[in-house]
Structure 1
Amino acid sequence: MSSPTSSRHDAQPQSRFTFRDLRLLGQSSVNSPLRVITLIDFDCFYAQCESVRLGLSPDQPLGVQQFKHVIAMNYAGRAAGLKKVVNAEEAKLKCPSIVLQHVPTWREGDTTWRYRDDALEHMDIDKSSLDYYRLQSKKAMAVLKQTLPGDRQLIEKAGIDETYVDLSGPVHQELLKRFPEFVTEPPSLDAHLPLPIDPLLDWSDTAVEEDTSDEARQHVDWDDIALHIGCELVKSIRSAVQCELQYTCSAGIARNKVVAKLAAGHNKPNRQTVVRTCGIEPFLQQYKFTKIRGLGAKLGRQVSKAFETELVSDLLNVPRATLASKIGSSSAAWVYNVIRGIEYSEVTDRTQLKSVLSAKTFMVSLQDISQAEKWLYIFAADIMGRLEDLGGDRRPKTVAVHLQVNGPRAPTRSKQGPIPLGAKLDTDLLLKLSRDLLLALEKEGATWPLVTLSVSVNDLVDVERGSRAVDSLFAAAGKTSPLPSSRNSNGWSSNAKVVDTKVVETVKDTRANPKKRTLFDLGFAQQGSRNEHMSKKVRAIDNLTAKDEAKGDINGSGSPLHEDAPDVEDGEGAYDCPTCARPVPASDVLEHLDWHAAVELSENG
């Protein structure tokens, strides 16, 4: 590709893009028409992790098992006619050669999770763990960051196996290297760029979605150059991940998150797809609009019912005014734009967790605090291990206990309280705090028999920031209150200095907020009216997706992305439950299947 020269600027046909557009690209602005976004999506991630760990060929059918079900299947298994989530016995019948690897589990007395050959025989006392897959996801994220050039990296972790990256900044830097004339300040930012000279782009390693007309192919402009550089960057990331970790991933490269998401799944496995600007509308017309991010839940169903179709191609013929008359003006404006590939949500830095949760649904209900205490220790050790895996630089502000009593369809009760700022955060402290919260719940109402129990730590902040807050508090108070090093009246020890040891007196009862949901609503809210309201509130085990519910994504009109955006997107991270047929996020599937097993046990006596 040759560089344009300033002496030929006047003689060249002009680009439709301006120097202002180029500057906005360098600022990673959502308003730059040269913007480049990618979604990197690992292929059958859980199954890949196990194949690599076991040293198996990708051609060997493999499923990841969780008690009675297979929750993930590699492509070799799917080629044998198996779905992503099936009964383990069915998988063996259909594919006798399949390798079924059970997920790691926690067991009473453990200090960490581990792989076990007898997990199926101990499903009543074992707790499934996704920690191995989280660790591998963390390693992959580190490789991505090391490979991606530039100091300002905009990365949004959309799941354990999906990551959005705004490539605009790195692409802009590469453009300036290849075309140094652009470094010089132009006479006007509104001046048009010259068209690129000799725009022969080699897309051989990337599937290209484009307008196939000769006219469209001939009009290569700077948006195509930017996308091409983006493809080079994505290829280098995918190659680095495969080289260092032996994992393959697919990717979509486009101008925004909506189109990049669809493109990532368009040519799986182990391929990347770019959607040129001229190819956006033809590409989207291949899809049902219910597959588009933000149209997979209530709003999508509303549109489908109003116009008796799910096809983008049909909806393109509907005038905006007609859309507004059916679904309201605000929603209509967003839908009208998004089905044409016009979408402006930001890639936000969500690589860090906001909360960590450990939970268990019991086949045999817990009868008293002594039985629950054993699980509280496992939850605390599980949570601390995952916090340590984060590098020790994140500290939660609060801890919460959630429980379900008197059967699998009873209401959930929850209580939360602060983690003392000056206290040493360890397993013993989390155990003591969660035990105090459970005792407080016990005093307030019926707690036994207990069917489900979980502990979560929330509002994770940087340790340095938390330390500054503690210093400020101590400076204001003038002194600290030491805890005795020996066991206290409740039998738990701590050597920490804390501001307030009376956690029970400051707990917040979440029942006061009837709109708040816990992960257990995923299983227990079976009726449609309740399902409508649980979408963004349910995140089991680990809120890796970390969606900002209060703020929402921002669309082109500057209004929040609809609150009914799908909490389960169609892809490798979503599963169809074989029992209730509900789509379940990857991070929720273990607890969801645990719940079904508990229901089956209770109904069969």
Structure 2
Amino acid sequence: MTTFFPLCTKVAIDITGAAEHLLASRAAAELGAAASAATHLADSALSVDAAKVTRSSARQGHDKQQSRDTSELADGWEEVLRRAASDPVAWRLIAGAVVVKELRQQVESTLGFTCSGGVATNKVLAKLGCGLHKPNQQTLLLPHAAPVLLKDLPLDRLPGLGGDFGQAVKSRFGVQSAGELLQVPRPDVLKQFPQRGEWLLALAAGDDSAAEAVKDRQLVKSLSNGKTFFGEKRLRSLEEVDYWLGELTGELHRRYLQQVEKHQRTPSTLQVSLTLDQKEHLTRQQPIQLGSQGTPEQILQTAKACARRAGAVSGVISLGLSLSNMIPLEASSASLSKFFGRKSEGAASKEKGEKPQEKAKAKPKEANLLGACFARAAAAQRASSDQQKAPEVDEGVLAELPLNIQQEILRELGQEPKLKKLRCDVVEIDA
């Protein structure tokens, strides 16, 4: 059994053990009352209507998604509890809804913010259920409800179908929803998509085989923080975006320091995500080198640079900030000069039997800049060794690099960073 929580990050948890513990320790009537009082059913009229909307509308928070009609919560529960009396899987899921209710209460009382949740037999359905009713609500998706919910669900609401592959599926078969895809003969689907056809059909049907198993892990892949702005609260300018990036940075910096302390890991990529009210979703990212002592200001300045690369923004309804691509701390603290070397491009190429021109073409922009920066600094150091002068960096080359890399280079060469004279938003690298 899987539950899905979109907190400041997204978390999938296997709560089967916790649900079975409740089944053994509490009366069925108590569990049924607690679950029905706090949980939407995924096949209720309101839930089915919420599932029909587009992906962008779901991200923006439409009216049916945000409805808190308490009478709707009771709709269908009497029949669910009656049928569950002879269905162990359904009772386990109902107990799971109580687990989620209590977990959400603990999150709010301990951390001070609310979250939504979804409970189902697999990760895909739990995530889908979670998105039906927000904020601060939860949804239970029982097995018999999956066909009802998926019938009119837009294909791009399913994981893996929101991009080019989803567009290819829709154009090949002339379909828009999961239910329409299931009406396409299986041989036709397998002929068009021999490698992914079986998975595609299982995904559209909500089968457990289409979803990855929930894996317990102590090491996170990324750290993220975000906020949604509904109605009149949506952000209208870059200045407002900058302000909220600053608000998100503090929490993200605290969690980054925890990774350093507990696991000796540090992120190497920062990403900013913006969803606009024109139904457009933008992401911009670039490398960041925080090491073990990165500051909130480093995160914020890199985030602002990413936001500006997104262009003029207006009507931002969702803003996210994340640190990802975790690497061991010792890897991040390795000397940049050792990584790029202090030899010229020509010398390094000759040792490997390559022509300098070919080597230059193969190098990405940032590597060329760093190599040029160190090469010129090394040449200056050799030329002035008799006078014992400190090596100097070509500021024209240095200015082409992100701020955090500029600082590392200057420290490597024994110079204090001259932040006011350097630019930090020129090198643009998208993954």
Structure 2 length-normalised TM: 0.49
Choose between structure 1 and 2 for higher RCO, CA contacts under 8 A separated by at least 6 residues.
1
**Richer in helix (by share):** 2
